[in-house]
A = this chain, B = another copy of it.
Amino acid sequence: MKIAILGYGVVGSGAFEVLKNYGYDVKKVLDIRPHDELGDILTSNYDDILNDKEIGVVAEAIGGLEPAHTFVVKALKAGKHVVSSNKHLICTYYEELHNLALENGVTLRFTSAVGGGIPWLYNLKRSVRCDEVSKIMGIMNGTTNFILDAMITDSREFDDVLKEAQALGYAESNPSADIDGLDTARKTAISSSLAFNTIIKEENVDVFSMRTIQKCDIEYIVGRLGKTVRYLGFGIKNSDSVSVFVEPAILSYKSPESNVCKNFNMITLFGQSVGRLSFFGQGAGKYPTGNALAQDIIDIVNGDTGLSFTPQNLTVDNSVFKRSYYIRTKAQLEGEFIDSCEKINGNNHIITKAMSVKEIHTLSAAILISDSSSFFAGFEE
């Protein structure tokens, strides 16, 4: 079976090199930019791929929604297996693409869309074959982890570290998708969909940005509480719903997450029989993510086209799961619940009693209006 790669950017070129080094037959690469080193393999006309009966698997590494979506739909309808590293695409069109793959008797794989080189989604899908997953959580974004790790290790301020991350190429010039949580939200939605056998969209995920964290928060969390902080996506199974959210989380120094340094990722499932299972590695980059894309392709070339599933209808309900939160704000908080919570440094720092994800995200939206520097983080057991 021959292979086509759509997009010769960072991930596409990484996968191309990996596959070529191991003797896999990449017949065509689609890119509108010139790449002399590709010779006849390069095409800018998608029909060259679509009409080529030898090409059995199409790897989409273009990113974004269009033309990726159109190309993937056409490939599936043409009876070609599809592999994608595109979390935006999968998060938005998972149900449609999944159904198209089923209808056309082909496979849709997207291990590289979450966790870069970490075979997280692949193993998650293996796990749910014979285990009940009660929770998934993870550091799924290297940029935010790099920032938090440097703030904690070197007692630096957010803006200062962000500039360094941008200079190093770990953060975009517009870093919003990373630090405001959209990237993690998409990865959490995809992971939760597989973990709980349902369809979760990015708009179902409650997200709190990590851009308001300050040195004073770190000083409080590390110095006073003896704990650390990471930016995590969570998917938690309730009795008949799931809670899915992205938040800064306060963790013990003994937690595996607390030693995830620099731009590394760690993603974890909790299974009824297997217990805690965590996967650690490079969550981005040409060769790690290219490797993961290549692994999905190799599975298909080897005839391993299974691991598909039929999603159930399980709703997201963020009012069920509850925990205690740390809040820093200058906004005036009132009411019986707040009165019952522990306050430090006057009213600026609050440790709440257990409250739901929905409650804290509603509260944070309100207090950000009067104090846009407000910050919160949940206490992860």
Contact = CB atoms under 8 A, between A and B. Distances in A.
Given A255-B259, A258-B259, A273 B130 contact: no
Interface in A283-299: 285, 287-288, 290-292, 294-295, 298
Interface residues of A, number: 50
Interface stretch (A118-126, A184-192, A205-213): A118-126
A273 B14 contact: yes
A195 B365 CA distance: 50
Contacts of A131: 18, 291
B291 A273 contact: yes
A118 B269 CA distance: 12
A273 B293 CA distance: 12
What copy number does this chain have within its complex? 2
A53 interface: no
Interface in A247-287: 253-256, 258-261, 264, 271-282, 285, 287
Interface of A: 14, 17-19, 21-22, 24, 117-119, 122-123, 126, 129-131, 253-256, 258-261, 264, 271-282, 285, 287-288, 290-292, 294-295, 298, 302-304, 306
A352 to B, nearest CB: 27
B276 A282 contact: yes
Greatest chain B CB density within 10 A among A131, A264, A276, A287 is at: A131
